[in-house]
Structure 1
Amino acid sequence: MFTLNAPRQGLFASLLIVSFALQTVLLVVATTHQLQENRMSQGQLMTSQMIADSLQEMNPPNTVSLALIANRYATNPSVASIRILDNSNQVLATSGMEQTRTGEVFSRDALQNDQKVGRIEVTLIKPSIGEILRTEWLAIVLSFVLYLVLWLAYRVIARPSRSEYLARVNREMTLKNEIQELTLALEQEKNLTTLSQNLPEQAKPVLKAAVNDTDHEPSAQLNQKAIALNIQFYDPKQLLSSVSQSVALSYFNLCQLFLNKSIALCAKHYRLAEDDFVLKDNFSAEGITLTIQAETYKAAECLLMISSVFQLLSEVLYKRYREEKRFVLQTRSAIASAVTEMNLEAEQAASRLTPVLSAKESAVYINHKLLRGATDSYHLLALPNPNNVLTRHSFLINGMNTECAELAQQLRTDILKSKK
C-alpha cells in the first residue's frame, strides 16, 4: 500500500499553529487597547455628568439624594464602585455592584463658584485576559476553523499523484539496484587485484619512484607538461578514523571503481589511451592522485571531465549511503601543473591545493595556454583568501557550459547503469 502524503505536512501544520497563536495574541492586544480607550472616554464623561447632577446636593450635603444619584449611575455594568466625597474627603455616598473589585479609577473635583465642594470617584472594571477571550470566543473559533481548512486543503492540493509517487519510488529502486551492481563489481575487482599482486615489479607505475625522488631532493627541472588530478575526502569531523578498517577499505575500493570507470569512459570520449593516465597507488585515507602528460588541451580537458564525473558519482553515492545510514564521505578535487616558484611537481601541487577546498568543490591551477581553453567550457572564480603562489593563481570551478554538463551527466548515467 502506498501512502500519498503531502510533502512537509508536519512543518506546514507547525507554521499554521504558530500563526494561529500569534493572531490570537494580536487579537487580545488590540481588544485590550480598544477597551482602554473606551474606558477613558466613559470615565471622563460619567464623572462630568455626575458632577452636574449632584452639585446642588453637595452644599449643603444631602446624603439621601446623593445616594440615589450614585445608585442610578452604578447600574452601568462597567462600573465597579462610585464614591461621592465632600471637600474634606468625607464619604457622603457610595454605590456599586462590585465595590471590592479593582479597576481604573477616574476622579474629578466638584467646583461651585470656583470653590471645591466635593469630589466624585468612579471605578470602572478592567477586564482580565480570560474575560477578553470569553468575549472574543466566536472570532477565535472561526479563525481556528479557517486554519484547519487551510491545513486540509494543503494535504489535498500538495499531495503527489499516484503516478508521481510511483515514478519517484521507481527511481529510488533503480538507483539502489545500480549501487548494488557496482558493489558486486567491486568484489570482482578485488579478486582481480589479488591476482595482480603476483605480477612483476616492472608492471607497476614508474611515477611512484619519480615522485619519491622529488620528495627527497627537489629537482630544478620540473615537468611542465604533467598535469595531476588529486582527489581527497572532506572529513572535518574525522569520521574516517572512527570506522573499522574493513569498512574503510570497502569504501575506498568502491571509490577506486568509480574512478577507473570515469577514466575509461572519458579517455574513450576524448580519444586518449587509458595508459596515458598514471595512478599513484590506489584510493586510501589520503585520497588518490592521477597524472597525465598534457601535450595539448585535449588531455587537460579530459582530466577536468574525469574530475567532474567522479564528483557526480561521489555525490550519488553520498546521498544513497546517507539514507541507508552507512559510512560515506564527500569528496573534493584539484587539478594542477608544476609550480616553478614553489619548486612543486604537478602531483605535489595538486595534493597541496585540495585541502583548501570544501565538500564538492574543485579547483584548477594550469598554465595560461591550457587555462584559456578551460575558460571556454568552465566558469572559473578566483580562490578566496590566497596565501601563496599556488592559491593566488588557482581558480575555483563554479560551473560548466551546457555541452560539458550534458556530457558529464551522460557519463555518470552510463557508469551507474554499467554491469561487470
Structure 2
Amino acid sequence: MNAPRQGLFASLLIVSFILQTFILVLATTHQLNENRANQGQLITSQLVTDSLSELEPANTVSLALLAGRFATNPNIASIRILDANNQVLATGGMSKTREGEIFVRDALLNEKKIGRIEITLIKPSIGEILRTQWLAILASFIIYVFLWLVYRAIARPSRTEYLTRINREKQLNTEIQQLTHAIEQQKHNAALVIAQAQGSPHSQKIAKDPKQEYQEDHSLALNIQFYDPKQLLDTVTPSVSTPYFNLCQIFLNKSIELCVQHYKLNCSDIKTIQAFNAEGTTISILANKPNAAECLTMISTVFQLLSEVLYKRYREDKRFVLQTRSAISSEVEAMQLSSAQAASRLVKQLSAKESAVHLPKDLLKTLSTHYELMSFPSPTNVLTRHAFMINGMDIEYAELAQNIRTEILKAK
C-alpha cells in the first residue's frame, strides 16, 4: 500500500531542492561580490597610502616588499604598482594568471599623479562556492529526504481504507457482471421471441424497425454519445471498453430508476433501443406519458453529472474514459427521421458536456420554465433550426439533479 502520488511528491521535492540550491548560490555570490567590492576599495586605499613615500622618487625595492606584504592576502590574485608613466615598478600575488575583479586607484601627492595601484581580487567559481556551502546543501538534502519518508508514512492509506477500496471495486465488478448477464439474457430472450415469431404460421407481417415503431407511437428519444475527437475508442481493446460501457449503463439505469420515481412513472415506460456501446446509447418514452420530456431531460442531466464525476476520477487514475454529450428529440417528419434517428443525428453536432433538445412547442414551453434554452448555433437543416441548447436550469431542478447524483454515488 504505497502513498498516493508518491512519485509526484518526490519530483516536487527534487525540484524544490534544486531551486533552493540555486537561490543559495545566487545569494552567496551576491554577498561575496559586495564583500569583494568593499575589500578591494580598502586594500587599494591602504596600499596607496603606504606607497606614496616610495613612489617619489621611485624605490622599487621598498615597493616590491610592500607589494609582497599585501599579496599574502589569499583573496588577492595580483598586485601591480606603476609610476606616472604607467611603467611597472613592482608586482606581487600568488595567482597572477587567475582572472578576477580589478580595482584601480591613482596615487596623488599634492594633487599630482605620481603612480597607480592595480589590485586583482579573486572571483570564486560556482564550484568553489558550492564547496564552501556544502554543509548547508547537505543539511537541506537530508531534510528533503526526511520529508519524503514522512510523507510515505503519513499519506499511506490505512488498512481500513485499503480494504474499503477493495470492497468497492469488488462491488462494482459484481454489478458489472450482473448487468452483463442481464444484457446477455435479454438478447437471448429476444432471439427466442424472433425465432418463435418466424416459425409461427400466423405471423405473416414483416418485423418493423424498432426506431420506426417508436416514430409511429410518437415517442421522445434520448441519445447519449461519447465525445471522442481523437478517436480513442478505436485504440482500446474490448477488455478495456466493455467494462467501461457496462459501468456507463449502470449509471444510466440508476438515473432512469430514480428519475421515473420522481416523476411518478414506471421503469417499463422507458424503452432501451440501444444499450451502451461505442456508438453510445438510446432510450425512448412515449410522448403522451405525463412529464415524459421533463423525465428524459432529468435523466440526461443526472447522467451528464455522473459522467463528469467518472471522467475526473478515471483521469486521476490514468484509466480510459471519455466525456459524453446528449440530445433529446421527437420525430422530424420533414426529414423522415424517427425520434431515435433525430436524437442520434442532433447529438453529433455537440461537444463534450453539452445537451440539446428538439421538441414540439408545447413541450419546449414546459421545459423553458425550468431550463435555460438557447437557439442552436449555425443551424444547417430543419433539425438544427428547431433545436435548442440547454444552457442551464433553475435552482429547484439543479438541486434535484445534484441530489439524485449524490444518491447514486452513495449507493455505488
Match for residue 294 of structure 1 among 263, 284, 287: 287
CA distance in 1, matches of 2:31, 2:149: 34
CA distance in 2, matches of 1:54, 1:103: 23
CA gap 1:290/1:91 in 2 versus in 1, 3 angstroms = same
The alignment covers a number of residue pairs equal to 400
Partner of 1:229: 222
CA distance in 1, matches of 2:209, 2:361: 28
1:77 Cα deviation (Å)? 1.4
- 1:5-55 residue CA offsets vs partner (Å, 9 max, x unmatched): 221111111101101101111111111111112111111221111111111
1:332 Cα deviation (Å)? 2.7
CA distance in 1, matches of 2:61, 2:84: 18
Partner of 1:186: 183
- Partner letter of residue 17 of structure 2? F
Partner of 1:104: 101
CA distance in 1, matches of 2:124, 2:238: 71
Which runs of 5 or more structure 2 residues have no equivalent in the other structure?
198-202
CA gap 1:80/1:39 in 2 versus in 1, 3 angstroms = same
* TM-score calculated relative to the size of structure 1: 0.77
Deviates more, 1:52-61 or 1:258-267: 258-267
RMSD: 4.3
- Partner letter of residue 231 of structure 1? I
CA distance in 2, matches of 1:98, 1:168: 68
Report the 3-state secondary structure (helix = DSSP H, G, I; strand = E; otherwise coil) of the residue aligned with 2:48: helix
Match for residue 49 of structure 1 among 46, 51, 64: 46
Percent same amino acid at aligned positions? 58
CA distance in 2, matches of 1:6, 1:245: 31
Query: Does 2:6 correspond to 1:15?
Result: no
- 1:134-175 residue CA offsets vs partner (Å, 9 max, x unmatched): 111121122112222222222222222221121111111211
Task: Kindly report which structure 2 residues correspond to 1:210-359, keeping only aligned pairs within 5 A, or say none.
Answer: 226-239=219-232, 267=260, 270-272=263-265, 276-277=269-270, 286-295=279-288, 298-308=291-301, 331-337=324-330, 346-359=339-352
CA gap 1:270/1:113 in 2 versus in 1, 3 angstroms = closer
Partner of 1:116: 113
Match for residue 390 of structure 2 among 395, 399, 407: 395
1:381 Cα deviation (Å)? 6.7
CA gap 1:56/1:239 in 2 versus in 1, 3 angstroms = closer
Match for residue 88 of structure 1 among 82, 85, 88: 85
Deviates more, 1:197-206 or 1:114-123: 197-206
Query: Does 2:136 correspond to 1:147?
Result: no
CA distance in 2, matches of 1:160, 1:284: 35
Deviates more, 1:140-149 or 1:320-329: 320-329
For the 8 Å contact 1:361–1:397, the answer to whether it is kept is no
CA distance in 1, matches of 2:352, 2:53: 90
- Partner letter of residue 332 of structure 1? R
CA distance in 2, matches of 1:78, 1:325: 57
CA gap 1:193/1:137 in 2 versus in 1, 3 angstroms = same
1:184 Cα deviation (Å)? 2.4
Report the 3-state secondary structure (helix = DSSP H, G, I; strand = E; otherwise coil) of the residue aligned with 1:401: helix
CA gap 1:85/1:357 in 2 versus in 1, 3 angstroms = same
